[in-house]
Structures are given as C-alpha cells and as structure tokens.
C-alpha cells in the first residue's frame, strides 16, 4: 500500500494568516454545496437526455430505467470530481493531486476487498451467533444496486473526506477533524428508516476505517472502494438493508434478523452495520487502520508539498 499524506491546501483562500480557520469552514461549505449541486444537475441532465433519445419524457429519477440511472450516476460522479478539481485549482491555487488517476484502479479494488471482507466478517459473526438467518434466493437485478453503491460511496466519501474532514483538519487540526467528521457522518444517518442512536454510534465507530485509508494515501480511492464494497456486500450479496434502505437488494442471498432478537444485537431493520458485532469489529478495524496511518506519519499533513498553481 502506497503511503502519503493529505494535502490540506496552503494558498489563496487557505493561505496562512488571520481567520484561516473561518476561511476554511466557509470554503468547506462552498465546496460541499458545489459538489452536491453538480451531481444532481448532471444526473438529471443525463436522465433527461436518455428519455429524449428514447422518445419518452423525464418525470422523476425513480421512474427512469435502471440502466439509465446507473449511467447517470457514473457520469454525475465523474463530473462532481472534475468540478471539485477545478474548484481546488481556483480556490486553493493548487492541482488536486488527491485525484491522481494512476492509482485509481488498484486502490479502488483494494478498498472494495477491504469493505467486502469487513462486512462478511460482521454478517458471518451475526449468523454464527444466531442473530440473523441467511437464505438463498434467485438473483433478480444488479443495476439498481450498482447505482446505489456508486452513488453512496462517491458522494459520501467526496463530501466526508475531501471536503469536510480535510478542511476541518485545515481549520482545527487532525484530531478535532476526525471526531467532528465522524459525528457528522453518524448524525446524517439518523433520518434514515429504523435509525437509532445506537446505529449512529456504530457508524461513528467505523468512520476511522475510511478516514485512515484516506490518510494513508492522501487520495479518496481506497475509502471510496471500501465504502462501495461494504454497501454492495451488505445490500446486494447478503440482501439486507443498508443504513435502513432496501434499494441495494436483488442478489443471491437474503439476511433477516431472527425473531425476538433485540435490534442492537441483530441490526434490526437498519441492517447488520447497526449490530453489536458491527460495533466491535468496525471499531477494532478503525483503531488498527488509524494506528497504521499514525505509524506511517500520515497524521502530519502535507500542507505545502505542492507548489501553488499559477
């Protein structure tokens, strides 16, 4: 695994001087809004174009064909990252080295394996402990799950790692940034179906995994892959809810909580990631990866490693 450090930005809007912490927070908000807006506008534009090309009319995303929605998410994800890179060049006076393309494939594949293995360990522990029942079923579809997987992984990791965690680190330091980003990630899922305070705590416990993977390389590809592997394995392969959402299902298995088992043990309607086994396993992996990042010097930012762009 290649090592590296996170580039926080050290010029233009993030130049040293008075109120840099406030400028970093303001820039964080601008980048977050810009990323979400770009994704939604581009996704809707692609779906409208696809509907027009097929002689139909665009109404809602949910009514669009699965293949068109998958294509829209892929194009919108690429557009969002491209706009992020342009914004960083203009606002921070540097190239967005964190989006280097050469490591994209190997790091994403590595992340996919990490996420899949962690979720397989969680579900395996639940099944071995008699908390859930796993049954085989016929595969019905995959495009919708791939769409949900890519969308959740790319949007959430872009916002949480590249925007929120990075700029909170710039504003307040690495430890406050780790804590605040994790708390925000957990809080954002409290509005999901079947969410509880315990489910939020479980998600917070696992946030060190994505943060540590990002810190190890200074790039989001490992954490995006991990997030995608986690969700796809949980939702499509094992057929359980993902953060309370059932849109990932359609694969070869269905995982159901055993009747009478407390939701904090089985995960309940929120999914296996809201179980006691998930809390233990994801926290252990978080600590291990963060320790690895610490031991490799990744807690020291690379704030001035790249010269400002002209």
Domain ranges of the chain: 12-295
Q: What is the mean pLDDT of residues 128-133?
A: 98
- As a whole number, mean pLDDT of residues 177-187 equals 98
Which pLDDT tens digit goes with each residue over 232-260? 999 999 999 999 999 999 999 999 999 99
For residue 1, the model assigns a pLDDT of: 42
Alpha carbon distance 108, 259 (integer Å): 37
What is d(CA 105, CA 87) in angstroms, rounded to the nearest whole number?
24
In whole numbers, what is the pLDDT of the chain averaged over residues? Answer: 95
The pLDDT of 183-194, averaged and rounded, is 97
pLDDT score for 2: 44
Q: Could you read off the pLDDT of 48-93 as tens digits, one per residue?
A: 999 999 988 888 888 899 999 999 999 999 999 999 999 999 999 9
Identify the band that residue 150 occupies on the pLDDT scale cut at 50, 70 and 90: very high
Mean pLDDT of 143-153: 97
Do 265 and 139 meet the contact criterion of CB atoms below 8 Å apart?
A: no
Residue pLDDT, tens place only, 191-222: 999 999 999 999 999 999 999 999 999 999 99
pLDDT given for residue 308 in this prediction: 43
Place of tokens 């020291």: 300
Average the pLDDT over 41-52 and give the result.
96
* pLDDT mean over 150-161: 98
Question: Could you tell me the pLDDT band of residue 301, with boundaries at 50, 70 and 90?
Answer: confident
Percent of the chain exceeding pLDDT 90 equals 92
Other C-beta atoms lying within 10 Å of the C-beta of residue 101: 8
Nearest to 241 by CA among 192, 205, 285, 197: 192
Distance CA 274, CA 126 (A): 11
């Amino acid at each position: 695994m290649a090592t590296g450090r996170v580039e926080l930005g050290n010029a233009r809007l993030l130049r040293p001087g008075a109120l840099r912490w406030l400028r970093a927070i303001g820039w964080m908000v601008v980048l977050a809004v810009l990323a979400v807006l770009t994704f939604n506008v581009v996704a809707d534009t692609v779906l409208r174009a696809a509907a027009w090309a097929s002689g139909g009319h665009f109404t809602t995303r949910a009514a669009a064909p699965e293949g068109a929605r998958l294509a829209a998410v892929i194009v919108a994800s690429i557009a969002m990252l491209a706009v992020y890179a342009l914004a960083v060049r203009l606002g921070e006076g540097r190239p967005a080295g964190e989006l280097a393309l050469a490591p994209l494939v190997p790091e994403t594949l590595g992340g996919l394996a990490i996420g899949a293995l962690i979720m397989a360990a969680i579900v395996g522990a639940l099944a071995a402990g008699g908390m859930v029942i796993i049954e085989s079923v016929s595969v019905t579809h995959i495009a919708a799950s791939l769409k949900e997987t890519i969308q959740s992984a790319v949007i959430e990791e872009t916002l949480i790692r590249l925007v929120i965690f990075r700029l909170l680190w710039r504003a307040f330091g690495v430890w406050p940034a780790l804590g605040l980003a994790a708390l925000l990630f957990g809080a954002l899922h409290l509005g999901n179906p079947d969410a509880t305070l315990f489910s939020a705590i479980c998600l917070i416990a696992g946030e060190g995994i994505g943060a540590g993977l990002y810190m190890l390389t200074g790039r989001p590809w490992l954490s995006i892959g991990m997030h995608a592997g986690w969700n796809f394995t949980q939702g499509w392969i094992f057929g359980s809810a993902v953060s309370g959402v059932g849109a990932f299902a359609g694969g070869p298995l269905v995982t159901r909580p055993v009747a009478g088992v407390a939701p904090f043990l089985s995960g309940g309607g929120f999914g296996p990631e809201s179980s006691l086994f998930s809390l233990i396993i994801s926290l252990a992996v978080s600590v291990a990866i963060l320790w690895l990042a610490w031991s490799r010097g990744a807690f020291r930012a690379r704030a001035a490693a790249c010269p400002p762009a002209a």
